[in-house]
Structure 1
Amino acid sequence: MAAPFPFELVSPERLLFSGEVEEVVVPGVEGDLTVLKDHAPLMTTLRPGVVTIGEAGGKRTRLFVRGGFADVAPNGLTILAESAMPVEEFDAAKLEIELQDANEVLAASKTEDSRRIASERVDQLKSLQMTMPGV
């Protein structure tokens, strides 16, 4: 059993989680990372994905985040998400519409910069489709 540490996940709308946890899997821009008690301090940008929270007794909570920052400090982990919601509230139909819109923006892009940005958005949304249940 891992030692517990404090964790909070906050979005602009609300506090989604606050409590003692044993581990948190974070979707960092450079890959997923697992945070345990006494993890080395770091700050990373988040990519859209699922934060998996491991609580005492084996309980798992999954929250979808759409970007933000994770701050691992000596006093615990804080995630400041651009947007977040429980995975159960995730809407696959809305994601499909966003992907269609992003593909249209990509097709209409006229400059190299706008194509790069639109292409990154399409890639993010496709990646998200693969990670979300029921999608």
Structure 2
Amino acid sequence: MAQSFQFELVSPERLLVSDQVESVIIPGAEGEMTVMASHAPVMTTIKPGVVTVKSASGTEERYVVFGGFADVLPSGCTLLAESAVAVKDIDRADIARRIQEAKEDVADAKTDEHRTKAEAFLHQLTTLEGALLPA
């Protein structure tokens, strides 16, 4: 049996998870990463995606996050999300609204740098939508 560690998933609205877990898969800005007990210290920004939490008891829960950052230490991991919701509670209208806002950000971009960042965020959201809510 794998060693457990403390994991917390926090959004501005509430604490979604605070539990001993076996592993957490995080959508880091540079790619997905799996965090396990005694992980090397690292901080990473989070892109929109799905966080998969495998509890010490073996159950698995998934949460959609819309940005933020994660602080990983050998003793635990804290993910501070800009917004987070359990996959089972995801709302298609909410994702569609976020995609529309991202499209507006692309259209309103004043510089190439801002446009590039807005386009990357829009791409992340549409990829997330496709993964969670297939047509």
TM-score, normalising length from structure 2?
Answer: 0.88
Give the Cα–Cα distance (whole angstroms) in 2 for the partners of residues 66 and 25 of structure 1.
15
Give me the CA root mean square deviation. Answer: 1.8
Percent of aligned pairs with the same amino acid? 49
Amino acid at match of 2:49: G
Which residue of the partner structure matches residue 126 of structure 2? Answer: 126
The DSSP-based 3-state class of the residue aligned with 2:57 is helix
Query: How many matched pairs?
Result: 135
Amino acid at match of 1:96: A
TM-superposed CA distance for 1:108, in Å, is: 5.0
TM-score, normalising length from structure 1?
Answer: 0.88
Residue by residue over 1:17-70, the C-alpha shift from the partner in whole angstroms, topping out at 9 and shown as x without a partner, is 001000000110111111111111111000011110001332001111111111
Residue by residue over 1:48-107, the C-alpha shift from the partner in whole angstroms, topping out at 9 and shown as x without a partner, is 111100013320011111111111113211111111111111112222233234334434
Structure 2: unaligned runs, 5 residues or longer: none
Give the Cα–Cα distance (whole angstroms) in 1 for the partners of residues 49 and 22 of structure 2.
20
Deviates more, 1:86-95 or 1:36-45: 86-95
The DSSP-based 3-state class of the residue aligned with 2:130 is helix
Quickly say closer, same or farther: Cα 1:108–1:71, change in 2 above 3 A: closer
